[in-house]
Amino acid sequence: MDKNEIIQIKELKKIFPMGKSEFTALNDINLSLGKGEFTGLIGPSGSGKTTLLNIVGSLDTPTSGEAWVLDQSIGKLTAKEAAQLRKKNLGFIFQSYNLLAVHNVFENVEFPLLLLKIGAAERRKMVMDALEWLGLTDKVRSKPPQLSGGECQRVAIARAMVKRPSLVLADEPTANLDAANSHHILQTMVKLNEELKTTFLFATHDEKVIGYLKRKIYLFDGKVAKDEWVTSNQTAK
């Protein structure tokens, strides 16, 4: 694996059993992602974006072929090793935020640091830093049900970013947001990508997201249909 590579996927197939028959959700995927990319998997609903993101996120395993993430072969990891990879190196952002409803903003963002057994003082500083990046310092004690959708997604981004992961996986992060909030969080993510050199991999079919991507990988029926880099003079809206 190239020093600068973070993801490498070779001849990956994912087949789901469907009663008596089977369904091929991903077919012969070959991809590689370098560190610091801001890339999206683009495709209509059902094209396999989430499935691919889940495999990269070690939440699922390939049926055949290989997926290397940070020098680890996803299909060969034990449950513990996979959990370790997610805990240390991966951040997740979901369409429906997936915040812990009974925990306040601080506690939600603190969560990944608790799993990493980071000391209280350091934890506090890291959480406050992350909340500052996302402009949430005045919502520290609020609980998710009291927040707007945009605020919730910002908390989710803070939670994904707080441990400074190498790779953030964002599955339709703007699907529940209005245009203003979508642009706001995307601009924040672009900034984090540039300042912290965090790699972002999106799954989306939202034009607003697509506008910010530096690399667009089009999926269609579980196959890579097109893989293009955005030239630097093309600017996001």
Ligand X SMILES: Nc1ncnc2c1ncn2[C@@H]1O[C@H](COP(=O)(O)OP(=O)(O)O)[C@@H](O)[C@H]1O
The binding site for other proteins (CB under 8 A) comprises 50, 54, 57, 59-60, 79-80, 82-84, 86-88, 92, 94, 96, 98, 100-103, 107, 111-112, 114-117, 159
**77 or 230, CB closer to other proteins?**
77
Residues 6+ apart with CB under 8 A from 235: none
Looking at this protein, which amino acid is placed at residue 130?
A
Question: Can residue 46 be called a binding residue for ligand X (CB under 6 A)?
Answer: yes
Please give the DSSP secondary-structure letter assigned to residue 132: H
Cα-based angle 31, 37, 39 (whole degrees, multiple of 5): 65
Minimum distance, C-beta of residue 90 to other proteins, in the bound complex (Å): 8
Residues 6+ apart with CB under 8 A from 200: 37, 38, 39, 167, 168, 170, 189, 193
Helix residue ranges, H only, the chain:
49-56, 79-89, 105-115, 120-133, 149-161, 179-196, 207-210
**19 or 145, CB closer to ligand X?**
19
How buried is residue 14: exposed, middle or buried, by Cβ count under 10 Å (0-12/13-18/19+)?
buried
Restricting to residues 21-80, name those near Mg ion by CB under 5 A. Answer: 50
Minimum distance, C-beta of residue 58 to Mg ion, in the bound complex (Å): 17
**14 or 123, CB closer to ligand X?**
14
Instruction: By CB under 6 A, name the one of 48, 57, 65, 165 that touches ligand X.
Output: 48
**50 or 166, CB closer to other proteins?**
50
* Contact range with ligand X by CB under 6 A, out of 17-25, 101-109, 188-196, 210-218: 17-25
Cα-based angle 41, 154, 43 (whole degrees, multiple of 5): 15
Q: Count of residues binding ligand X (CB under 6 A)?
A: 13
Tokens standing for residue 179: 């245009």
Residues 6+ apart with CB under 8 A from 187: 212
Restricting to residues 196-235, name those near ligand X by CB under 6 A. Answer: 203
Minimum distance, C-beta of residue 46 to ligand X, in the bound complex (Å): 4
Question: Can residue 47 be called a binding residue for ligand X (CB under 6 A)?
Answer: yes
Looking at this protein, which amino acid is placed at residue 154?
R
**77 or 175, CB closer to Mg ion?**
175
* Residues making contact with ligand X (CB under 6 A): 16, 18, 23, 25, 43, 45-51, 203
* Residues making contact with Mg ion (CB under 5 A): 50
